Amino acid sequence: MIAPADNQTFKVRIKRQDGRDTPSYWQEFEVPRRPAQNIISVLQYVAANPTTTAGEAVEPVVWDAGCLEEVCGACTMVINGTARQSCSALVPDLLEDSEDNTITVEPMSKFPVVRDLFVDRARMFDNLIKVKAWVPIDGTHDLGEGPQETPEKQQERYAISRCMTCGCCLEACPQFTKDNDFLGAQAIAQAYYFNEHETGAKLKKERLDVLAGPGGVADCGNAQNCVKVCPKEIPLTEAIAKAGRQLTVHAIKKFFTGK
């Protein structure tokens, strides 16, 4: 374990929950400051030293994490009131805005809590299935070279491809709630991404039918909170707007052709 840089400490208030149907509660821990410290390292310290500031020995805190490099998207939490990746949330930055030398950490509120800071993000992946967020390649292996894209189109789609299904955009979205069917910025943007792929466009009509239904593009309130919190700076509202334009063309064609 890295030794503390000095004797300074700070406090972290963690919102905990023992199970899906149990009430939540807060616990506070004192943590020594270390160089280049992120929230994951704070949670690791608390797990190794599960004693609250009141002197109570408690169960170690549970959280989800994977790559620790802001790639997997698993460690999203609400830190100091903002949804973000805990692996890239640095303690010095967080304490700059704290008046009482305390950092608050909570689970995302838009997904069911499994335990403590670990939430069930299955809805995000289910929504990707709904919009058929993949390229249909069955039977295409013997057709020769694939279609070419312009550099401009590559750049546009690359920006959207950086999505890691972390859930920050959905946590910040006022339209996305536990009890509605809104797909959210993440799934809509991915639908547009695959619609713009030359081979992926084979499922374009099916995706647009989903986006035209309940929970689709029309349910977006354009709050633009998603763009503000996206750790990958994906142009989500722009992708939603372009998906909306595709939907308009699709609706007109369907009206006149029935297809």
For residue 4, is pLDDT > 50? no
The residue written with tokens 């310290």 in the block is 45
Higher per-residue pLDDT: 147 or 32: 32
Mean pLDDT throughout 134-139? Answer: 82
CATH 1.10.1060.10 in the chain, residue ranges: 122-257
Overall average pLDDT of the 72-80 stretch:
97
Please report which confidence band the pLDDT of residue 140 belongs to, taking 50, 70 and 90 as the band edges: low
Is a pLDDT exceeding 50 seen at residue 2? no
pLDDT confidence band for 147 (50 / 70 / 90): confident
pLDDT at 133: 96
pTM of the entire predicted model: 0.91
Look over the chain and give the mean of its residue pLDDT values, rounded to a whole number.
93
Transcribe 164-216 into DSSP letters.
Answer: ----HHHHH-SS--TTS---HHHHHHHHHHHHTSTTGGGGHHHHHHHHHSTTS
Q: What is the pLDDT of residue 5?
A: 46
pLDDT value at position 259? 76
Domain boundaries 122-257, CATH class: mainly alpha
pLDDT of residue 7: 58
Tens of pLDDT, residues 6-21 = 559 999 999 999 999 9
pLDDT of residue 1: 39
Tell me what pLDDT residue 65 has.
95
pLDDT band at 227 (very low <50, low <70, confident <90, very high): very high
Residues of the chain with CATH 3.10.20.30: 9-119
Strands 118-119 and 9-17: unpaired
CATH 3.60.20.10 fits 9-119, yes or no: no
Q: What are phi and psi of 169, to 5 degrees?
A: -65, -35
